[in-house]
Each structure stands twice: as C-alpha cells, then as structure tokens.
Amino acid sequence: MSLQNDRYTYRVTWSEDDQEYVGLCVEFPSLSWLAKSPEAALQGIRKIVNDAVTDIRDNGETPPSPLSGKSFSGRFIVRLPPEVHRDLAIKAAEEGISLNRLISSKLSNI
C-alpha cells in the first residue's frame, strides 16, 4: 500500500477509556483508529487518512493541506522561531481553537 499522506501530523496516545492506543491526525480531527499497540494505531490512522484523501480527490475536492507544508511567519506581536509557531499551531488545532486564543490563554496563566 502506497500512502499519499505521510506529510500529515499524526499522534498516538493511550486511551484509558478504551484501554487501547488511539491514532489521530490533526488535519482530520474527526478520524481516529484504536489498536492494541502504538504501531498498529499509527498504521490504522494513516490508512484511513489515505482513504479519506482518495475519496476527497475522487469527488473533485481538495483535501486539507498538511500543517508540515504550511509556511509560518513566526510573528504575532513577539517573534518566535518558526518551529515554535508550528508547534503552537498544531496544539491549537488539536484543541480546536484559534492560535490567538491558545496564546492568550497561555499568557494569561503566567
């Protein structure tokens, strides 16, 4: 199987509720994959994301752009390294909030 989506942002975490590992993709927050091992969870989420990308393209639509390919300026009143900006953008996407809201929340907790 040739996966077209290796540039997407994947995470594997333990689900206490399910007693299994869960594979997630930040760019596709509605998708997940449960498995007994972290390796199987990653393989499963990569496959369903690949299937979703194929379906989206087959319907003449454009799939989400991978966060890894986006350019980040590194600026928002203060300067940060672009890698930090990317990490914050991923965290905000995972939490389903704007980058501005995430930063405001973090700064208000100092």
How remote is the C-alpha of 64 from its chain's centroid?
11
Over residues 50-103, the pLDDT tens digits come to 999 999 999 999 999 998 888 878 665 778 899 999 999 999 999 999 998 998
Whole-number Å distance between alpha carbons of 90 and 56: 22
Close Cβ partners of 2 (under 8 Å, ≥ 6 residues apart): none
Over residues 3-56, the pLDDT tens digits come to 555 799 999 999 999 999 999 999 999 999 999 999 999 999 999 999 999 999
Q: Return the DSSP state at 5.
A: -
